[in-house]
Amino acid sequence: MVFLSYTVDDLLGGDHGPDMLALTTTFFLFEFLAATQDVAVDGWALTMLSRENVGYASTCNSVGQTAGYFMGNVLFLALESKDFCNKYLRSTPQPNGLVTLPDFLFFWGTVFFFTTTLVAVLKKENSAERANREETESVKEAYSLLFSIIRMPAVLKFCLMILTAKIGFSAADAVTGLKLIERGVPKEHLALLAVPMVPLQILLPLLISKYTAGPKPLDVFHRAMPFRLLIGLEFAFLVWWTPHVSHEGGFPIYYYAAILLSYALHQVALYSMFVAIMAFNAKVSDPLIGGTYMTLLNTVSNLGGNWPSTVALWFVDHLTSKECVGAEGQSCADHDAAELCVKLGGTCVTTLDGYFVESVICVVIGFCWWFFLGPSFKKLQDERQSSWKCQRRRRSYC
């Protein structure tokens, strides 16, 4: 991050546009290092918390993520926006915000360096705890263990179901914010709407953990799912409504209040499902190999939300219909055709926004999953603890 702070402006907007290869490589490295730390954090959660309280690991996780999201997203976008800083924080307007992306990367890179160094120096593992759990001796052994875990019938069934459980939310989660910005809502205003959500996001896991720390956390996941699917339709309505709201001098308060209320309801459903699945992963993970086991389940859970969002972002343009107005015989079927339409004096006008089509398709898929596969997913929590145990012997696995 410190090194990137000196080069990020060139990578994002050099003479030849963004350097996608360098950016992809950089973020792959970020994700690799973050995933490595996740293994350690998940292992800590299982070894520091008693077995009856291990469900609260998800509460710690979600509260920490909320604080990190606020500082890394909401606070940064506000302080980086010149319009926000000039309007609320300065008496004399300036051409830039108070913080730049290089400043942000350098500051947090330095903070991470010192805090993780302090953890490495000051935190000592309990030798008794270490003796009570088995540790893999090599990278090859760790991956052999992961392969053995995922072949267990209960784990395999869980992975297949959680990989498809979040398809219904993909359009709402991945595309809604971009569509609101496309329709004129300032991105820094959308980011600031998350500020009132911070107390709710911190309190929600604490309240929900009362129900997810018990023996049946997936009941909460299943009950919250239809509400979150319906909120996806409400998001689609908000996107449709946005151009019809008079906003020559900025969007009115009642519009932001409607978005804020919708976002709050969405957060309740989202955190109910997130905390429930994290609590279930902590509950079934074998503490002997807790860091490896729990991180595997959490990674599959995260992947189950990420791949549908990626597909939704890619597919939305293919579902969108546009026509060229003002240039006879031209179309807007693809990027090149749209550029030609504009060069000839025409304008590409959207006749059918693929976001609305995608929203309906996703919600239908989501309700089908909830109705047909949801009951089987809930039954996973009724499996005996031995179904999730990985009995390890020397040179043999589950």
**Same domain flag for 162 and 260:** yes
Residue 363 covered by a domain: yes
Residue 153 covered by a domain: yes
d(CA 205, CA 152): 30
Residue 342 covered by a domain: yes
**Same domain flag for 372 and 340:** yes
Residue finishing a domain among 65, 98, 126: 126
**Same domain flag for 190 and 260:** yes
Do 273 and 228 contact (CB within 8 A), yes or no? yes
pLDDT at 130: 52
**Same domain flag for 120 and 170:** no
**Same domain flag for 243 and 305:** yes
pLDDT at 393: 42
Residue 321 covered by a domain: yes
Residue 353 covered by a domain: yes
Element (H, E) at 277: helix 253-284
Output the DSSP codes for 288-321: GGHHHHHHHHHHHHHHHHHHHHHHHHHHTTTT-E
**Same domain flag for 151 and 99:** no
pLDDT at 155: 92
pLDDT at 128: 53
Residue 171 covered by a domain: yes
Residue 59 covered by a domain: no
pLDDT at 395: 42
pLDDT at 394: 40
| Measured CA distances, 151 to 46, 101, 145 (Å) | 22, 44, 10
pLDDT tens across 204-244, in order?
A: 877 887 787 777 889 999 999 999 999 999 999 999 999 98
Question: ∠ CA 1-308-42 to the nearest 5 degrees?
Answer: 50
**Phi/psi at 324 (5° precision):** -90, 120
Pick out the chain residues at pLDDT < 70: 14-15, 51, 54-55, 58, 125-139, 142, 287-288, 290-291, 391-398
Residue 134 covered by a domain: no
Q: Are strands 321-325 and 347-352 parallel, antiparallel or unpaired?
A: antiparallel
**Same domain flag for 381 and 322:** yes
CA 367 distance to own-chain centroid: 21
**Same domain flag for 121 and 164:** no
Residue owning tokens 């993520």: 65
Which range of residues forms the domain containing residue 361? 141-387
pLDDT at 391: 61
**Same domain flag for 234 and 332:** yes
> Exposure of 118 by Cβ count < 10 A (0-12 exposed, 13-18 middle, 19+ buried)?
exposed
**Same domain flag for 244 and 112:** no
Residue finishing a domain among 94, 126, 158: 126
**Same domain flag for 93 and 146:** no
d(CA 124, CA 122): 6
**Same domain flag for 148 and 112:** no
pLDDT tens across 126-170, in order?
A: 655 554 555 555 667 767 777 888 889 999 999 999 999 999 999
